[in-house]
Amino acid sequence: MEGVKRYLENIEPRTAALFTGAACVIGTVMVLLQKGYTQREAKAKIQKAQNRRTDSLQRAEHAVLQYNKSHPETDSALILTLSLSELTKKLQEGSLNPEEVFYSYMEKTLDLNKDLNCCTGILLESFDQMKTLDSNRKGLLYGVPVSIKENYGYKNYDSSCGVVINLDHPAKEDSVLVEVLKKQGAIPFVKTNIPQALLNYECSNPIFGQTLNPHNPLKTSGGSSGGEGALIGGGGSLLGMGSDIGGSIRLPASFCGICGFKPTPGRLSSQGLSSIYRGANIR
């Protein structure tokens, strides 16, 4: 019952209608009143989160502009055509450096987000991580920019799952999978959008809005890893991390024309991944 109350307290009316209609809306209002959570407070939290996203996007855009001015020789178009195996090989052998790969994908991501609204924020620490990578090129994913779903714990960033009550509660440490990515030389550089409460095959929430399909903006990118599907399908990320209980990786992959992999339960750690209700077996 506690999990149901937690889910109801921030659910969208449109989503609620898919379940029990007006009864859910009434239940939502009752829970909000019990919590003393006003509409004005909710709007203020949403605006604050949106401002953080805008600031991160603008700072990333400025960094990309400065890089492009000082490195006009970077062939971003070629870099973006490489497969993961081709890219990792070139990074390992040194014919490409992490900086030019990082800025190529960052620029593409920023451009895509303007049309698709697939990002909930740039991970600004990624700029420093990229500059301090091990010069010995250690790690299977050395220098590879990686996108992560919004519910992945990343130190000092929210994992809201698209609900207001989870805002302003940044992670105290990286999730296990983010730690593993970093140890393998990968650079997590952006968090991607999700449906409210992660419980929808569409991709929209009241904090960050709706994500569109990269091949047809009149269609959805799917859910719940819809931001990942849109970003990878549009070419802004080569490798992304999602989560899947009932199709949350497989559906966006299908909708966006990419490959998605749902691992066997327990194969990858879910420590540090957020959900909206207790007992969710995220994987």
What are 3-22's pLDDT values in tens digits? 434 443 444 444 433 433 33
Largest Cα span, the chain: 61
Place of tokens 């209002």: 29
For residues 228 and 251, is the Cβ–Cβ distance under 8 A?
Answer: no
Whether residue 3 is found in the same domain as residue 143: no
Determine which one of 224, 225, 243, 274 is catalytic. 224
Is 9 domain-assigned?
A: yes
Determine which one of 104, 126, 237, 248 is catalytic. 248
Is 141 domain-assigned?
A: yes
Neighbours of 23 (CB within 10 A): 10
Is 108 domain-assigned?
A: yes
Phi, psi for 193 (deg, rounded to 5): -70, 160
Q: Considering just the CA atoms, what is the radius of gyration of the chain in Å?
A: 19
Task: Work out how many domains the chain is built from and give that number.
Answer: 2
Whether residue 115 is found in the same domain as residue 30: no
| Percentage of the chain exceeding pLDDT 90 | 80
Whether residue 86 is found in the same domain as residue 113: yes
Mean pLDDT of 72-94: 97
Distance CA 51, CA 249 (A): 28
Residue 149 known to be catalytic: yes
Confidence of residue 226 (pLDDT cuts 50, 70, 90): very high
Residue 275 known to be catalytic: no
Is 283 domain-assigned?
A: no
CA dihedral 142, 148, 153, 155 (to 10 degrees): 60
Neighbours of 129 (CB within 10 A): 17
Whether residue 177 is found in the same domain as residue 217: yes
Distance CA 20, CA 168 (A): 30
220 contact partners, CB below 8 Å, separation of at least 6: 201, 202, 203, 211, 212, 213, 226, 255
Is 217 domain-assigned?
A: yes
Distance CA 44, CA 25 (A): 21
Q: What is the pTM of this model?
A: 0.87
Whether residue 95 is found in the same domain as residue 235: yes
Whether residue 196 is found in the same domain as residue 160: yes
Residue 25 pLDDT > 90: no
**Range of lowest pLDDT (10-14, 75-79, 115-119, 214-218):** 10-14
Whether residue 169 is found in the same domain as residue 30: no
Whether residue 71 is found in the same domain as residue 184: yes
Is 75 domain-assigned?
A: yes
Range of the domain at 22: 1-37
Is 63 domain-assigned?
A: yes
Whether residue 196 is found in the same domain as residue 240: yes
For residues 174 and 129, is the Cβ–Cβ distance under 8 A?
Answer: no
Determine which one of 45, 108, 149, 191 is catalytic. 149
Beta-sheet pairing, 204-205 with 209-210: antiparallel
Residue 228 pLDDT > 70: yes
Whether residue 4 is found in the same domain as residue 130: no
